Amino acid sequence: MPLLCLGFTPIFMKTKSLWLSIFVLSALTASAKSKDYLLACWQKQAGPLNNKSLLLHYQEKKNELEHSFEPWQQTNYTGKGIVWSNAANFIKSDTLARGQRTYYSITQWNESTLLFLDYGDKDLFAVTKGMFEDQVFAGARYSPIALVDYFVKQKAGVEKESDKELVVYKLTINKTIVKLFIRKSDHLLHKVTTLGNDELFGDVLTTYVYKNYKAINNLSYPALVEIEKINGKVKDEVVIPAVSIVTELPALLNKPANYKFKDEVAPKPEIKVEKYSDNIHFIELKHTDDKVMVVEFNDFLLAAEAPLNSMNGELIINEAKKIAPNKPIKYFVFSHYHPHYTGGMRPFVHKGATVFSTKADVPYLQYLASAPHTLEPDSLQLHPKPLQIEEINESKTVTDGKFEMKIFFIGNKSQHTNDYLIYYFPSEQLLFEGDLVWIARQGEIKKAGTRQAGLYNAMKELGLNVKTIIQSWPVKDYGVKTVIPFADLEQSMK
């Protein structure tokens, strides 16, 4: 390309000095290109395999954000497994352990197929084309061979952010921006970053740093991979104490005769609005299996719970507008920090609603509200607004002078999270809560579990006069009641 430019540019050149500067610039580009660090890396980390495979035994520390008691609390797993890796294949058989429990999974990927047996499953996972495409970088957690090869084949270009020490190459794979950072000094891959969208956290960066390089038959491989997930909030580690080079690949899973990718269909929003009383409205989001609440006061609205992502927050705001077109949503409140209650908060911040929160959750809400969403922008990303918070200690009464809603902090009495809030309407003898009651729709009422007993005890302590409990999640799934007579809860405590 620089040569072509040189051939054409003189026709349009007016001065010699400009012509000279273009020439110098082109020559510089050519010299930068003359060193192909990506190919040099491939020659060290993939090329020497020569159609054979690297067999590696690894141990890992894997930490996950699950439905814990407080934000950023991690569930820790230890794992071990075997990986067969080359340019066109990634096969993994592994176990993950936590306490007494052990989970088992198999991944089998090649250039046209991804077979995946998930932890705890008996049948193959229904893999989408996107998952298949993502596997080329997902496998880099253990071995970057296939990813380096993919970058060479795709002729990835050098990025401007390259510096004295590292040359950066970038590709967008499926919806994720993947970068390789190759060391100029020894041509080894220093790290890989992937930037993807998470519906709760927005732009999420994962980093794999490759360390303790060793060699086998001229093939360089990292014996330690340090991983940072969710913008560095969660850290994992993969240690590879032993490798060998093998000629055969195992077939751990059989490809079904009718193998094809599952269609990627985004869940179609389906909404049902129910007027419970003059002041209380419930909005059921069937596509997320949640029921959220809009409380109508004299000249404002309060919304409680917004599941999973900003799109759902917008849907709720839209329905609230239909309920009371001239009343602003003054307050947003969530029962606890789990994604089914906070995931759709950002559009409420964009609308200028004040968020009720326990003191302990404030930093988490600040994180959610300020997290960049550049890959899939929502209203708050496009038009940033400050997060307004009002802290709740023991309780809070929201009223317009006539109608009254009480919010109570029950915290870890919920036996579910440390931040738990419940909502009580004295005039309706109604309690609305997140996910604490698990009474089957059919059959006899079983003895209360810890969460359910926790709610009952907290209600008794507060001396609430309740006839009916309405629960936010789940609505259809798990076969449990969402409208629960208080008598049922009492029965479960006997």
Q: Which residues bind Zn ion (CB under 5 A)?
A: 338, 435
Minimal distance, residue 409 CB to Zn ion, in Å: 16
Nearer to Zn ion, 47 or 434 (CB): 434
Minimal distance, residue 371 CB to Zn ion, in Å: 21
CB 249 within 8 A of CB 91: yes
Nearer to Zn ion, 350 or 416 (CB): 416
Minimal distance, residue 363 CB to Zn ion, in Å: 19
Minimal distance, residue 366 CB to Zn ion, in Å: 21
CB 337 within 8 A of CB 71: yes
Alpha carbons within 13 A on the beta-carbon side of 169: 28
Nearer to Zn ion, 55 or 421 (CB): 421
Nearer to Zn ion, 187 or 338 (CB): 338
Minimal distance, residue 5 CB to Zn ion, in Å: 60
Minimal distance, residue 339 CB to Zn ion, in Å: 9
Phi and psi, residue 230, nearest 5°? 45, 60
Nearer to Zn ion, 150 or 341 (CB): 341
Burial class (CB in 10 A: 0-12, 13-18, 19+), 426: middle
Minimal distance, residue 78 CB to Zn ion, in Å: 26
Q: Which residue is nearest to Zn ion, using beta carbons? A: 338
Q: Which of 143, 171, 111, 177 is nearest to 376 (CA)?
A: 177
Nearer to Zn ion, 338 or 351 (CB): 338
Minimal distance, residue 448 CB to Zn ion, in Å: 17
Nearer to Zn ion, 338 or 346 (CB): 338
Q: What is the 3-state secondary structure (H, E, C) of the chain?
A: CHHHHHHHHHHHCCCHHHHHHHHHHHHHHHHHHHCCHHHHHHHHHCHHHCCCEEEEEEEEEEEEECCCCCCCCEEEEEEEEEEEEECCEEEEEEEEEECCEEEEEEEEECCCCEEEECCCCCCCCCCEHHHHHHHHHHHHHCCCHHHHHHHHHCCCEECCCCCCCEEEEEEEECCEEEEEEEECCCCCEEEEEEEEEECCCEEEEEEEEEEEEEEECCEEEEEEEEEEECCCCEEEEEEEEEEEEECCCCCCCCCCCCCCCECCCCCCCCEEEEECCCCEEEEEECCCCEEEEEEECCCCEEEECCCCCHHHHHHHHHHHHHHCCCCCEEEEECCCCCHHHHCCCHHHHHCCCEEEECHHHHHHHHHHHHCCCCCCCCHHHHCCCCCEEEECCCEEEEECCCCEEEEEECHHHHCCCCCCEEEEECCCCEEEECCCCCCECCCCCCCCCHHHHHHHHHHHHHCCCCCEEEECCCCCHHHECCEEEHHHHHHHCC
Nearer to Zn ion, 44 or 338 (CB): 338
- CA 149 vs CA 87, 118, 154, 186, 240: distances in Å: 6, 26, 9, 18, 21
Nearer to Zn ion, 94 or 305 (CB): 305
Minimal distance, residue 417 CB to Zn ion, in Å: 6
Nearer to Zn ion, 66 or 264 (CB): 66
Minimal distance, residue 435 CB to Zn ion, in Å: 5
Minimal distance, residue 335 CB to Zn ion, in Å: 8
Minimal distance, residue 355 CB to Zn ion, in Å: 18
- Crossing angle of helices 2-12/16-34, nearest 10°? 180
Nearer to Zn ion, 348 or 420 (CB): 420
Nearer to Zn ion, 124 or 484 (CB): 484
| Type of residue at 362 | V
Nearer to Zn ion, 222 or 307 (CB): 307
User: Could you tell me if residue 306 is left (phi over 0), alpha (psi between -120 and 50 degrees) or otherwise beta?
Assistant: beta
Minimal distance, residue 67 CB to Zn ion, in Å: 5
